[in-house]
Chains A and B, each alone.
Chain A
């Protein structure tokens, strides 16, 4: 106790330092906060995966994954999402180089791959529903549509976000705020590709395997 008071008794002025500047860097805290959001999103998908894992074999005498899934279509879809991941990476590299139009170009390419992914997924869903294999048919199909549909919704909102950011970048350039937003969207976009790895492995490939 006395030790901590002694410097003052020497006549020295007691000064307190804060370990860190209280005015934290906005970009840094945003990155951590956005990461925490992604982790909570990850839990949503974990629950949907668990749901599919439990219900995925309850066909109710209806069609099985082997009869329904079209693997070449899924392979093309997977490629679309993987290409969109790498093109988003190129957009981030252009952004770090401070090239506004290069960033916009690669964001545009990313968006087109995203639209192609969603288009193929809607085509698949439409095809399934026309075959009478809609989400009401069996527990397997309910959990399938919920899991894959939730992922598709995420990608759709990702595309919407991408378009909004392209407008922002086109109007205001690569300002600090836009860089931070692009960084968050890059985490979101790559995260959705990670979820898709689980979808094509656990749902499509394992499903066709029987």
Chain B
């Protein structure tokens, strides 16, 4: 695909769409060519950085790298939500946002809870050296 053609097409579509932007029939909010491209460029940057950090062994401390990877992933998810999924607090009278927040709460509890609990269980179930001596 040629970038020129894409840009021209996108602008044409954007221009045509300008008229019904304020069409308030409750239609899902949609983006413009500019917002899609902004999202794409941001997402590309936020993808390239973590790959470069891991493949180039940039930080000697892997914990720093891990933190940066997860932080950038969260930022990229927000970028996708705004520029590709067109999330906002007004769509559907705020119900999509409410459903999203509820889901995020459940997701955080599920993920953090599982990893936390199971990590401690693993640590507590681990045979310690002195336990092994007692086994003989």
Contacts and interface: CB of A to CB of B under 8 A. Distances in A.
Interface stretch (A78-86, A129-137, A152-160, A161-169): A78-86
Given A25-B25, A27-B26, A96-B13, A194 B81 contact: yes
A190 B80 contact: yes
Chain B interface category by residue count: 35 or more
B47 to A, nearest CB: 6
Given A85-B40, A86-B40, A93-B36, A39 B99 contact: yes
Contacts of A36: 99
A203 to B, nearest CB: 11
Chain A interface category by residue count: 35 or more
Instruction: List the 3 closest A-B pairs by CB distance, nearest first.
Output: A28-B26, A97-B13, A201-B73
Given A27-B25, A50-B115, A85-B80, 13 more contacts: A27-B28, A32-B96, A35-B92, A36-B99, A39-B100, A46-B106, A78-B51, A82-B44, A85-B43, A93-B31, A96-B20, A98-B16, A209-B65
Interface of A: 25, 27-28, 31-32, 35-36, 39, 42-43, 46-47, 49-51, 53-54, 71-72, 75, 78-79, 82, 85-87, 89-90, 92-94, 96-99, 102, 109, 183, 187, 190-191, 193-194, 197-198, 200-202, 205-206, 208-210
